[in-house]
Amino acid sequence: MDTVDELMAALHACRGAWDAPDRSGDPVDLHDHALQTAALLRRARPSDKELQLAGLVHDIGHLLRPGDDAHHAEVAADAVRGLLGARVAALVRLHVPAKRYLAAVEPARGLSPQSALTLGVQGGPMTREEVADFEADPHAEDAIELRQADDAGKVVGLDAGVMEDWREVLDLVAATTAGERQARV
């Protein structure tokens, strides 16, 4: 995805799109899930725009490649890396490993029925070695914060604003990313 307009179009297209194409999955559509996750992160980390945007876009893999639960995080990360930068892409990619991590270190923690179901195809709870590797990742703490918002952002009927609220933040982070790329060449 090369422009904020293109990404905004994809986010709008999340209205009426679901993590499971047959609607057997989570009870809110991808559009409301994106807005709720981003709003929770804005409350938890008001100054971290990149984390908030990672929350906003983390599940667009379900839109871009329906039915591929196992790879939806990588698909989304690849789609936004050029536009929103390496950190946002890393946090998006880590939202599934963070779920596998939390399933290993806090097995009693509740997941939505759909998240529990897809945990299997995503590799199940992390092994002890995987836990150690995950904890060594500089993005681990932020990825866990994102995952907690992800798991909480599935409330039917909760108003978390409108997608256009995020255009300005997307423009800002996209401009910073383009500026950094320019500075490197």
Nearer to Fe ion, 4 or 56 (CB): 56
Q: Which amino acid is at 110?
A: G
DSSP-assigned letters across all residues of 103-171: HHH-TTS---HHHHHHHTTTTSSPPHHHHHHHHHSTTHHHHHHHHHHHHH---TT-----GGGGHHHHH
Query: Which of 54-62, 104-112, 127-135, 139-147 is the region at the interface with Fe ion (rule: CB under 5 A)?
Result: 54-62
Give yes or no for residue 151 binding Fe ion (CB under 5 A): no
34: tokens are: 């994106």
Nearer to Fe ion, 104 or 176 (CB): 104
Query: Which of 5-13, 45-53, 102-110, 142-150 is the region at the interface with Fe ion (rule: CB under 5 A)?
Result: 142-150
Give yes or no for residue 59 binding Fe ion (CB under 5 A): yes
Separation between Cα atoms, residue 130 and residue 50, nearest integer Å: 25
Give yes or no for residue 26 binding Fe ion (CB under 5 A): no
Query: Which of 56-64, 121-129, 157-165, 166-174 is the region at the interface with Fe ion (rule: CB under 5 A)?
Result: 56-64
Cβ of residue 150: shortest distance to Fe ion, in angstroms? 4
Give yes or no for residue 150 binding Fe ion (CB under 5 A): yes
Nearer to Fe ion, 49 or 58 (CB): 58
Binding residues with Fe ion: total (CB under 5 A): 2
The answer to whether 80 and 89 are in contact (CB under 8 A) is yes
Angle, in degrees to the nearest 10, between helices 49-57 and 4-13:
50
Cβ of residue 175: shortest distance to Fe ion, in angstroms? 26
Give, as one character, the DSSP assignment of residue 26: -
User: Kindly report the CA angle at 103 between 156 and 85, in degrees rounded to 5?
Assistant: 75
Residues that bind Fe ion (CB under 5 A): 59, 150
